[in-house]
Homo-oligomer: A and B are copies of this chain.
Amino acid sequence: MLKVTVWGENVHEQQEPDVAERYPDGMHGAIAAGIKENLGDDVDIRIVTLQDPDHGLTEKVLTETDVLTWWGHTAHEQVSDDVVDRVYRHVLDGMGLIVLHSGHWSKIFTKLMGTSCTLRWRAEHDRELVWTIDPTHPITQGVPSPIVIDEQEMYGEFFDIPAPDELIFISGFSGGEVIRSGCTFRRGYGKIFYFSPGDQDYPVYHHKDIRRVIANGVSWANTLRPERSSPTLLRYDTNDFFNGEDYRGASER
């Protein structure tokens, strides 16, 4: 049973009637429904939002989470640094992370990338075509190439991210812009998938193919390691390869 936590910022939905109408269960609700639609009984989904205590991301919740999905936009700055540090640690320890759309500028994504994660954008009803670049990858299975999104916000290059470990999708927009729209990254023992389609002003999270890709990403990001643990700095004696000693400070001899 894959334990998924869907994190939603839940601000646009509360403040803008058109967003609330488009996403009556919140964007987090639509994202969760799309994962459930594809993974069914293999997945146990919990939804939490910015407004919950600790934004819903307590140590207990994260420990119980195999894969976390992240959608945020207008309130990135309201996310507590302590929570970000906690999520960061869990990713390095092996929790999967799916970062969606405007989550590109979230504290957690920029912290994991080590770059500004800036890009070019325009919300003018561009058509987005999502082209498969790696047809062998688990994340691209079961969707056409291209995925056609009739109306979407444009996100374009230069997208300031590290060169991804795997380039999965590239999107082209009717205005002519392009973006690396599906990218994977490993950090520590954790796997990260960034997927750019999705916006509060367009019904993208109701799109069957987009939902499939997100579900594929969730399945892929789940760690294969038997236990969650932290990468470590240990000293090993000569000919001991398996029993390192804890670090006791940089000046030890």
Task: Report the separation of the CA atoms of residues A15 and B163 in the bound assembly, to the nearest whole angstrom.
Answer: 41
Query: For residues 50 through 92 of chain A, which have their beta carbon under 8 Å from a beta carbon of chain B?
Result: 73-76, 92
CB < 8 Å neighbour of A162 from B132, B137, B162, B253: B162
Select which of B131, B146, B158, B185 is within 8 A of A132 by beta carbon: B158
- A59 vs B184: C-alpha distance in the bound complex, in angstroms? 35
Residue A151 is within 8 A (CB to CB) of chain B in the complex: no
Please state the number of chain copies in the assembly: 4
Find out whether the CB atom of B191 lies under 8 angstroms from the CB atom of A127.
Answer: no
What residues of chain B lie closer than 8 Å to A126, measured between beta carbons? 238
For the complex, count residues of A whose C-beta is within 8 A of B. Answer: 86
> Known: A115-B187, A165-B163. Contact between A122 and B237, CB under 8 A?
yes
A143 at the interface (CB under 8 A from B): no
Q: List 5 A-B contacts (CB under 8 A).
A: A114-B187, A116-B231, A121-B233, A124-B237, A133-B158
Tell me the A residues contacting B by CB distance below 8 Å.
Answer: 12, 15, 73-76, 92, 94, 102, 105, 111-116, 118-124, 126-127, 129, 131-138, 141, 144-146, 148, 154, 156-158, 160, 162-163, 165-167, 170-178, 180, 185-191, 223-225, 230-239, 241-242, 244, 249-251, 253
**Nearest 9 CB-CB pairs, A to B?**
A160-B231, A74-B250, A118-B233, A172-B178, A112-B114, A114-B114, A172-B172, A116-B231, A131-B157
